[in-house]
Amino acid sequence: MNRLSLRVRLIGLIALVFLLGSTVLTVAAWAYARIAADRAYDRLLIGAALQIAGTVSVEEGQAVVDPPISAFAMLGLAEGDSIFYKVEAEGSRLLTGYADLDVPGGPVTAEPVLADGAYRGRAIRLVTLGRYLTDTSSPGWAKVTVAQTRSARSNLAFSLTMQALKMLVVLGFLILVAVLLAVHLAFLPLSHLGHVIRARDPNDLRPLNVPVPSEVQGLVNAVDRFMALLAARIQFMQRFIADAAHQIRTPLTALNSQLDLLRSEPLPAAQARHLERIQIRADELSRLANQLLDHAMVVHRGTLIAPEPVDLVHLARRRLGEIALLPLDRPVNLSLDIEGEPALVMGDRVLLGEALSNVLHNALLHGARSELRVTVGTRGGQARITVSDDGPGIPEPLWSAVREPFHARQDGRPGAGLGLSIVVDALRAHGGELLFQHEPGRAFTVILSLPARLP
């Protein structure tokens, strides 16, 4: 039941209510139609009875009756019905008509009395009325009873009911269309909401700014509250990590100076080798702590961007200059090309600089064998910094994984794998993205793409 679509449930429920309602209405219409048909044909019956009663008179002290042709012609208006009648004088003395017609008892007056009955196995409608005769030997009421079978009434009631039923069917069709339309419209905000949530950046935990009907507002509020809790939680964790990294840096610095002191002393070869390894691990630890801090910084700044114009050429030149100072175990040729229009973006200079530094670091430390080329330019409204190297590059299956923080490194080399995720976050905060390009046998290219600032 719970799995049934709301649409099906709503339509089913409405159909059920409508069917029950229609049944009740049809029965009611039939009952009403019967009453209406009875009313219509009862007039004929009463009219005919009055006409016959009008001919009841007294001749030579005897009650006589002369049923007029017009009375029967009037009854003939109920096409197809048989006519039974009976006229009795005071004391139930039969004057004319069907002797075995059962007349309902009760006092007779001039007021017509209608009743249902049966005659010779057929349902009939009777009217009885009286005419008081004074100048007979025994004054009293003459009783006129006229009855008719019900087929004209049934036909009329049936056709009236069918008319009502036809209207109900049309109404039902209209209701179905209205319900389908209403359900569709009612669910539009929900599907729109779903669409908005699906399309949302996973890191965007701001309240949903979607206008919805009041019924859905509760759901939106719940989602917003949940996202706010989540955001607070994440913020707390990030601050915790940043604090932790910061706290770790101080003992690390102390550790490093201790290591320096140790290295300045002559040590046996085996111990020197151990010291060397400790030094490497300590460096790794420092880098990790720095990256964690960087990441926290990026996340922090990303949420608080105060955009200013940033010249990407200038940025690239500076960061490339910094990179050039890094000690390397091999000669690498660095170059910077500028293509096309000046590459200006609106953004946070530090954040973008950190992002670029990370990319350059990565390329230099893990990629470039002998060549690292940086190109800056604007094309099609997008400002781009491309970083190409002649290294092995990142295998394509890992392209999406490396965008995530703390991804498991496949190459077994040291590092927390935070570098590119910092880049991704920084670029995302600017509405940009990180792309990879690899032509087999040729250079591996990382592209930082940002919306260009309109001149």
Min dist CB 146 to another protein, Å, is: 11
Mutual orientation of helices 269-303 and 214-263 as an angle, nearest 10°? 150
Site residue total, another protein (CB under 8 A): 22
Min dist CB 70 to another protein, Å, is: 8
Mutual orientation of helices 312-324 and 349-362 as an angle, nearest 10°? 50
Q: Is 117 in the site for another protein (CB under 8 A)?
A: no
Q: Is 325 in the site for another protein (CB under 8 A)?
A: no
Q: Is 65 in the site for another protein (CB under 8 A)?
A: yes
Q: Is 43 in the site for another protein (CB under 8 A)?
A: no
Cβ distance to another protein smaller for residue 152 or 360: 152
Min dist CB 38 to another protein, Å, is: 19
How far apart, in whole angstroms, are the C-alpha atoms of residue 60 and residue 135? 9
Q: Is 238 in the site for another protein (CB under 8 A)?
A: no
- The token pair at 102 is 């059962």
Rounded-to-10 torsion of CA 377, 380, 386, 390: -110
Rounded-to-10 torsion of CA 238, 243, 248, 250: 150
Q: Is 37 in the site for another protein (CB under 8 A)?
A: no
Q: Is 95 in the site for another protein (CB under 8 A)?
A: yes
How far apart, in whole angstroms, are the C-alpha atoms of residue 149 and residue 264? 130
Query: How buried is 298 (Cβ within 10 angstroms: 0-12 exposed, 13-18 middle, 19+ buried)?
Result: buried
Q: Is 122 in the site for another protein (CB under 8 A)?
A: yes
Q: Is 71 in the site for another protein (CB under 8 A)?
A: yes
Report CA Rg, the chain: 51
Q: Is 75 in the site for another protein (CB under 8 A)?
A: yes
Span near another protein by CB under 8 A; candidates 67-75, 262-270, 311-319, 368-376: 67-75
Among 12, 17, 43, 66, binds another protein (CB under 8 A): 66
The DSSP annotation for 238-300 comes to HHHHHHHHHHHHHHHHHHHHHHHHHHTS---HHHHHHHHHHHHHHHHHHHHHHHHHHHHHHHH
Q: Is 80 in the site for another protein (CB under 8 A)?
A: yes
Cβ distance to another protein smaller for residue 82 or 382: 82
Sign of the CA dihedral running 303, 307, 313, 315: negative
- DSSP-based three-state secondary structure for 354: helix
How far apart, in whole angstroms, are the C-alpha atoms of residue 304 and residue 296? 13
CB 125 within 8 A of CB 83: no
Min dist CB 78 to another protein, Å, is: 9
Among 83, 355, 423, 448, binds another protein (CB under 8 A): 83
Cβ distance to another protein smaller for residue 120 or 166: 120
Span near another protein by CB under 8 A; candidates 11-19, 83-91, 103-111, 402-410: 83-91
Among 79, 135, 265, 439, binds another protein (CB under 8 A): 79
CB 451 within 8 A of CB 345: yes
Rounded-to-10 torsion of CA 27, 29, 30, 31: 90
CB 376 within 8 A of CB 448: no
Q: Is 142 in the site for another protein (CB under 8 A)?
A: no
Cβ distance to another protein smaller for residue 103 or 376: 103
Q: Is 76 in the site for another protein (CB under 8 A)?
A: yes
Q: Is 103 in the site for another protein (CB under 8 A)?
A: no
CB 181 within 8 A of CB 406: no
Identify the bridge partners of residue 336 per DSSP, sorted by sequence position.
374
Min dist CB 89 to another protein, Å, is: 11
Cβ distance to another protein smaller for residue 87 or 293: 87
Q: Is 67 in the site for another protein (CB under 8 A)?
A: yes
Span near another protein by CB under 8 A; candidates 27-35, 91-99, 196-204, 445-453: 91-99
Structure-token match 């009795």, residue found: 88
The DSSP annotation for 288-301 comes to HHHHHHHHHHHHHH
Among 24, 73, 174, 197, binds another protein (CB under 8 A): 73
Min dist CB 16 to another protein, Å, is: 43
Min dist CB 145 to another protein, Å, is: 14
Min dist CB 82 to another protein, Å, is: 5
154: number of CA atoms within 13 Å, CB side? Answer: 10
Q: Is 87 in the site for another protein (CB under 8 A)?
A: yes
Q: Is 91 in the site for another protein (CB under 8 A)?
A: no
- The letter for the amino acid at 95 is L
Among 64, 113, 262, 285, binds another protein (CB under 8 A): 64
Give me the residues that bind another protein (CB under 8 A), please: 64-69, 71-73, 75-76, 79-80, 82-84, 87, 95-97, 120, 122
